[in-house]
Amino acid sequence: MSVAPISLPDQSAENEWHDIVHATPDACRATLAKVIESRSKDFADRFYSYMLGHPQAKVFLTADVVHQRLHASMGRWLKEIFRHPLVDASSIVAHQRFVGEVHARIQLPIHLVSRGARLIKHDVQAALAGKFDDPHLLAQTVSYADRLIDLALELMSVSYERSSQREARTDEAYRLFSIGHNAGIERERQRAVLMEWAHEVMLSLHRATASTSLPRLRQSEFGLWFTHKALAMFEGDAEVGQILDIIERIDSTVLPLMLPRDINNRSTDDRVVELQYEIDSLKFLLKNLFDRHQEAENGRDVLTRLFNRSFLPAVISREIHVAQTRGTGFSLLLLDLDHFKRVNDGFGHDAGDQVLQQAATLLMSCVRNGDFVFRYGGEEFLLMLVEVTQDDAMRLAELIRTKFETMQFQMGQARTLNVTASIGVATYDGHPDHQYLVKRADAAMYQAKQSGRNQVVLAV
């Protein structure tokens, strides 16, 4: 038995959860809770056995990750949503939304989640067989299980969609940034290319004969750039479709009617005015696109010129994908400058800024071109080392720690200062959620600070 997912237009998800629970007899809920308690391991076994055999799911899951991390989480999730008696619906609802965010971060297709939910409902229904003498109570219990799973899935899906949109915007900004151009310079360059094409049209028109064919905008440098680069850079923006329409209109209507064989007896001057109008519209739309995406230039920290943390999810997610598909490894180093507050308090914030800038320069000198260095926040820095082993990462972390320990930071007016660093190291272990890896590095760094600072700790 299955009940359609419940929509949430008029009442909160917490109230919806309460309504489903309190509309179900206590005997049904108590029996189901006991079944889940005794069979949750079996449910998780079958669920992950199916997932590990599915070609799409195998991209996101490995047997080790399932065994070490996810199997127990599935059991806890089942016990949570069918807990009896109900204690706190708000925390249960919040957890479903969190799970949806995790699924979005690892880009787990929502249809796989839905299929997994259907599998669980089938197993729960089978496990309830024979638990009730009264078939009506059995039907109510099955309906109760279905409705809570459906509501949990709906909450996950809404959160998944919102998180995916945020991730997509970040990834879009990163793609624009990674092209390697200053957005303002690129905008002006494309405006210049567009005007060069318009000038070429005017020259061709001036020399036109009966066999003249005016240069098409789609085949111009601007047209090729827009078709093959800008469409990816600005995917989803309304101006993209409008620009494509203008390009098509210019090529199919405006240009053919500018030639001497114009059958409408309109002057060439009128056609030039029409072309200029379309070009002005193109420039206006192009400006809007670049202005909206100028935020991509903010991908660098103003003070240190390192990446800021806004691109971190996109960068780590891409590296996880590379690791999954190519079998390479990578590590994160999370570094905190020890007692940095004393620098600001004792020397002033300008001196503190100088220390951060010199720290950034030191870190950049220690990594390769393919590695990433972020200013993570305040006096914290995060390094992503690509295609390294755990031992490689630990050696580099110790080298960085030593360099900080021995370096004389320049404060101006011939003043110098020694600053040490505490470093946490976490190596990618197959877990698909990038936040999990960052949290491991953060916990290791915290342990380094708690253990006396100026040391390197490897995350367990």
Q: Which of 127, 144, 160 is nearest to 83 (CA)?
A: 144
Is residue 132 within 8 A of residue 142, CB to CB? The reply is no
61 band by pLDDT with thresholds 50, 70 and 90: low
Please list, in sequence order, all residues whose beta carbon lies within 8 angstroms of the beta carbon of residue 276, skipping any fewer than 6 positions away.
198
pTM of structure: 0.51
pLDDT at 180: 47
pLDDT at 271: 78
6 band by pLDDT with thresholds 50, 70 and 90: very low
| Cα–Cα distance list, 241 to 108, 151, 179, 220 (Å) | 30, 37, 22, 18
Cα separation of 431 and 223, whole Å? Answer: 42
> What average pLDDT does the segment 348-359 reach?
90
8 band by pLDDT with thresholds 50, 70 and 90: very low
Share of the chain above pLDDT 70, in %: 85
pLDDT reading at 28 higher than 90: yes
Question: What sign for the dihedral angle of Cα 204, 208, 213, 218?
Answer: positive
Q: Between residues 147 and 4, which one has the greater pLDDT?
A: 147
**The two three-digit tokens of residue 368, written as one number:** 């390769």
Is residue 40 within 8 A of residue 79, CB to CB? The reply is yes
Q: Between residues 315 and 9, which one has the greater pLDDT?
A: 315
Report residue 443 CA to chain centroid gap. Answer: 22
65 band by pLDDT with thresholds 50, 70 and 90: low
Tens digit of each residue's pLDDT (9 = 90 or more) over 403-423: 999 999 988 777 889 999 999
Partnered with residue 97 across adjacent β-strands are: none
Strands 307-308 and 372-377: what pairing?
parallel
pLDDT at 348: 85
Please list, in sequence order, all residues whose beta carbon lies within 8 angstroms of the beta carbon of residue 271, skipping any fewer than 6 positions away.
254, 257, 258, 262
Cα separation of 380 and 6, whole Å? Answer: 45
Average per-residue pLDDT for the chain: 84
Q: Between residues 125 and 295, which one has the greater pLDDT?
A: 125
Tens digit of each residue's pLDDT (9 = 90 or more) over 227-251: 877 876 777 778 889 999 999 999 9
9 band by pLDDT with thresholds 50, 70 and 90: very low
Tens digit of each residue's pLDDT (9 = 90 or more) over 358-391: 999 999 999 987 888 999 999 999 999 998 999 9
Is residue 408 within 8 A of residue 418, CB to CB? The reply is yes
**What are the phi and psi torsion angles at 416 (to 5°)?**
-130, 165
The angle that helices 71-81 and 135-178 make with each other, rounded to 10 degrees, is: 130
pLDDT at 298: 60
